[in-house]
Structure 1
Amino acid sequence: MNARRDLLQEYDDGRVVPYPGRTLGRSHVLSAQQREPKTCSVVVVSYKTGPILLECLGSVLEQTNVTQLILVDNGNSRTMVQSLNALADENPQLEIITGHGNVGFSRGCNIGARRARGEYLLLLNPDTLIGENTLENALNVFDEHPGASMITVRLENPDGSEQRGGRRNLMTPWTCLVEQFRLDRLAPNHPHFKRLNLNETLPFTEVTKVQCISGAFMLMPKTTFDNLGGMDEEYFLHVEDVDFCMRIEKSSGFILYVPHVSVVHQQGTSRVYSGFVEWHKSKSFVKYFFKHFQPQYPKPLLNIFAAAIYTRFVLRLFPMTMRWIFDRVFSPKTQTMIRAPASSPARDHAIRSS
């Protein structure tokens, strides 16, 4: 695929478009009716996700290119399992893998990907809703950019705003400092003071090359996943997506962000103890820095970063725990309305707590 990258023109701002007058092979000149439909396996890893999981799976099953929907059940309620089994009985493309316990997100992705038979693989978070033709529109981007290792789409909050983390620069110890302390304000246009997250920058209007994306929506040729050896299973939860993007960068691949296709990602739907999540996030940050930034950064400096990360976790643990208890004990159970993605027909998604 790299041999075809000479057909693409890359701009300084990351935009990647075909050269005027050049073709990108047979798929570029054939009409949509003449092309063979792309096959895609979708992997969803779920752990105590809540009712939105059924909404997520339902939105995936409406997509025309889905030949397989693989749900890796790391642990859900008995009521949810019954609903999932009923959904699988009605939809033969839904496969449920269960019985392995909570093995973490990375290993769950690998378990699901080993079952995948499609030409393309989509890793999708269980609290994500995709509208009509979203997957088809995203897959069509590979026709115009055949060398892309992976693509993502615009991640939106339920209110329609762009979600943090959907497009970003690769995480380094320095970019983390810039983001944490907003050092970019000292020199807004300096290349060494770039922010980690890009959602507060000007929105992209064209398909654009980015360094890093969120694991909520990662669409790639199955060969990309296989050639990289899948997700690093030493990341139990969080940062595995950043690690995967870093490995694409190191393998001379590239990632594209597609702004004209969108999905809704509602975060925080799992009823897992927030301290558990934050602990694994802290461990993953430390692993990532030591894995990718030795010997560029001296080990004593990385140890200081690790100490700062764990100190931050300890300082946040008590208020985080109190807030989690309050939300579970005192907050009323409410109905959450999720706006349909822009690429789907207007419709409301009602998510009711079980």
Structure 2
Amino acid sequence: MDAIPGRMSSVQSEVKWLHSLLNDRRPHMGIDTSSVSVLIVTYNSDHVVEDCLLPLPSDSEVLVVDNLSTDLSIEKVTQVRPQAIVIANSSNAGFARAVNLAAEHAHGDYLLLLNPDARIEENAIVTLLRDMETDPSIGIAAPLMTDSHGAFKVLGAGFAPTIKNMALHGFGISRVAPRNQKLEGHHLYRDSNLDSVRELDWVSGGCMLVRRSVWEALGGLTTRWFMYAEDVEFCLRARQLGTKVILDPGAIAVHDFGGSSKDVAGSTNTVWIVNLYDLYCSTMASSRVACLVWKWTVASGFLIRAAAFRLQGIVRPSARRSADANVSRYRAFATALLRAAPARRATRT
């Protein structure tokens, strides 16, 4: 669901921007950050978790669940944030189970899911809180996620993974015309229409503020998957409850993946698309035929994009290296998707 962006004159835009900036420099203006419980899951995160913890409000509760790290993640957390509640798992339980465990011990009226390699300043948290306290129908709010180098093009936010939305994404149509809202697909882009708060179908669990009442009504994250897709599924269920999911570009968070698109062996991570297929088939598809159409539509889009990058590498030798990398990446996505087993119908776990 799209918000009406509204165009303003350049003078009005400057005034609005300055007013927003001044408000952001007075973060507490009736907004109580002690109502926020920050939920962080660590797994060998000692090299990033300090930067994650330092900007958080001093009066916000912080809970860290460690998934059996072999580094000094726990020691780093207790050193940087001595008052944090640390829960050491006896196994690597996955993202969803760890977040649900943290939520069980949280006391805040709002739960902020935050990746250990993400950073959000207090002012941005206040902006999201203000959104939610101003409009009680908002159940989930997220900032605009960027990276410290400004290299992000695809945003972790967008619309439900329907056949249409996945076709727009898979074939790269939404990337070609990112500001055309009629062509927006599963993901938004950095150049999408972000002039105002957007009401969407899903936002990333890497930095997501959730009203506790919504969290409890939904029973937390599904544990169907070890990781990936649980945030999309959670937001879709929230939408079914009638609550809004928004992205506020006036709140900024920084997320440096540090090579998160690669696994330990250096191969392309394809779990996200397999889980997304499973999500569609288990909760959205009307029939097995719809599942097959989804699979072949998305895979075809990936293969066509691989072919386009192959051609780019031939036409522009200077871009050959990056083109070859993209060819390999999109072929891997398509191959994993085509090999994916049919999904079983979802049950709440």
TM normalised by structure 2 equals: 0.70
- 1 CA distance for matches of 2:87 and 2:240? 32
- C-alpha spacing 1:188/1:86, structure 2 compared with 1 (3 Å): closer
- C-alpha spacing 1:186/1:142, structure 2 compared with 1 (3 Å): closer
Structure ranking higher in helix proportion: 2
- 2 CA distance for matches of 1:75 and 1:83? 14
- 1 CA distance for matches of 2:214 and 2:235? 11
- 2 CA distance for matches of 1:177 and 1:11? 19
For residue 225 of structure 2, what is the amino acid of its counterpart?
Answer: Y
For residue 82 of structure 1, what is the amino acid of its counterpart?
Answer: E
Matched, 1:43 2:39: yes
- 1 CA distance for matches of 2:178 and 2:48? 42
Deviation at 1:12, TM superposition (A): 5.6
Secondary structure class of the residue paired with 2:104: helix
For 1:61-72, list aligned pairs within 5 A. 63-66=57-60, 68-72=61-65
- 1 CA distance for matches of 2:30 and 2:244? 28
RMSD: 3.5
Secondary structure class of the residue paired with 1:78: coil
- 2 CA distance for matches of 1:276 and 1:223? 40
Structure ranking higher in strand proportion: 1
- C-alpha spacing 1:250/1:188, structure 2 compared with 1 (3 Å): same
- 1 CA distance for matches of 2:33 and 2:196? 24
For 1:1-354, list aligned pairs within 5 A. 13=4, 38-60=34-56, 63-66=57-60, 68-88=61-81, 91-92=82-83, 94-160=84-150, 164-184=154-174, 191=182, 193-268=183-258, 272-273=263-264, 278-295=269-286, 298-303=287-292, 305-306=294-295
* Structure 2 unaligned regions, length at least 5: 7-26, 307-324, 330-349
For residue 86 of structure 1, what is the amino acid of its counterpart?
Answer: Q
1:12-38 alpha-carbon deviations (Å, 9 max, x no partner): 6378xxxxxxxxxxxxxxx96667665
Q: Percent identity between the aligned chains? A: 20
For residue 49 of structure 2, what is the amino acid of its counterpart?
Answer: L
1:251-289 alpha-carbon deviations (Å, 9 max, x no partner): 111112211121111113568526788353244123201
Secondary structure class of the residue paired with 2:37: strand
For residue 123 of structure 1, what is the amino acid of its counterpart?
Answer: L
- Give the total of aligned pairs: 285
- C-alpha spacing 1:196/1:87, structure 2 compared with 1 (3 Å): same
Deviation at 1:142, TM superposition (A): 2.0
For residue 157 of structure 1, what is the amino acid of its counterpart?
Answer: D
- C-alpha spacing 1:301/1:36, structure 2 compared with 1 (3 Å): closer
Is 1:127–1:269's contact at 8 Å kept on the other side of the alignment?
A: no
Q: Greater RCO between the two (CA within 8 Å, min separation 6)?
A: 1
* Structure 1 unaligned regions, length at least 5: 1-9, 16-30, 321-354
TM normalised by structure 1 equals: 0.69
- C-alpha spacing 1:272/1:253, structure 2 compared with 1 (3 Å): same
